[in-house]
Amino acid sequence: MSLDSSSLTANAEPAPPESELLVECREDGVAIVRMNRPKATNALSLNLQALLSAAFTRLAEDPAVRAIVLTGGDKVFAAGGDIKGLEGAGPIEILERHTERVWAPIERCPKPIIAAVCGYAFGGGAELAMHCDIILAGEGASFSQPEIRIGIMPGIGGTQRLVRAVGKFNAMRMLLTGKPVSAQEACNMGLVSQVLPDDQVLPEALKMASLIAAMPPLAVMQIKEVVLAGVDASLETALMLERKANQLLFATRDQKEGMQAFIEKRKPKFEGR
């Protein structure tokens, strides 16, 4: 099932209930992407992955969208890959799936993405959350990379993003035991941005996304780009990238508007130019 363009416009009608992915764009510039396979605990089937890829491709190109909230609902975020679809697969079939291409629109999305995580974020679900920029988790949420328990290992960034987020020793414990960690422990390790009561996760994510969406879009995109590009660069190179991006923003109308509004003690109106 593919997403039609009407599901990606402001005030759009929600996608049909049977859709595995629901996309809603609000007037405040926030898009909500909701995985919708409740009977399968939002397992990341090939179809759901394709829908996520298509949705993020379109949202990245939509100038009306300034921030994205990704959620699986109030019971489960995503409980990993679709094991039934993997059990009989051989190495060439797995190679030919090119998951790196499917997930690239999420990884490279220039808009900030907030993961609103309730319940399980296991395996591919944890890796999906780590593709986001901010992770808000409910008190009942838990995270794990259990692939080792079925004879495989993470294949969409779990070994790399996890160690960058929580350090070698915490990552090794999660990867080699497959045991889950609670939301609070994940927060203490640096995997989660904030822990909230379960019923406040999505409202807080939307509130935060709305706040970000009201910021100057070019500055938001430059901050995200420089942070991600600088993570694996030397400090000297990363600081150079930061300086160049900061200099570039002084050519924008939003910089002029923001500073003038500050001086005049009024609320700025940013246009993304």
Q: What is the pLDDT of residues 211-262, one digit of tens each?
A: 999 999 999 999 999 999 999 999 999 999 999 999 999 999 999 989 988 9
Strands of the sheet with 142-144, listed across from one edge: 78-79, 120-122, 142-144, 181-182
- Give me the pLDDT at residue 80, please: 79
Q: Where are the domains positioned within the chain?
A: 5-213, 217-264
**pLDDT per residue as tens digits for the range 146-160:** 999 989 899 989 999
Domains 5-213 and 217-264 share a fold: no
- Give me the pLDDT at residue 141, please: 97
Structure tokens at 216: 């100057």
Distance CA 212, CA 219 (A): 11
pLDDT band, residue 273 (cuts 50/70/90): confident
User: Exposure pattern of 146-181 as b/e (b: 16+ CB <10 Å)?
Assistant: bbeeeeeebbbbbbebbbebbeeebbeebbeeeebb
Q: Which of 87-101, 128-142, 191-205 has the lowest mean pLDDT?
A: 87-101
Say how far residue 89 (Cα) sits from the centre of its chain.
Answer: 28
Distance CA 68, CA 206 (A): 9
Structure tokens at 174: 């999660």
**pLDDT per residue as tens digits for the range 172-216:** 999 999 999 999 999 999 999 999 999 999 999 999 999 999 999
- Give me the pLDDT at residue 252, please: 93
**Rg over CA atoms, the chain:** 19
- Give me the pLDDT at residue 13, please: 47
Q: Is the pLDDT of residue 109 over 50?
A: yes
Superfamily of domain 217-264: Lyase 2-enoyl-coa Hydratase, Chain  A, domain 2 (1.10.12.10)
The single residue listed with the structure tokens 């089937």 is 45
E strand intervals along the chain: 21-25, 30-35, 67-71, 78-79, 113-117, 120-122, 134-138, 142-144, 181-182, 194-196
Question: For 5-213, which CATH class?
Answer: alpha beta
pLDDT band, residue 99 (cuts 50/70/90): confident
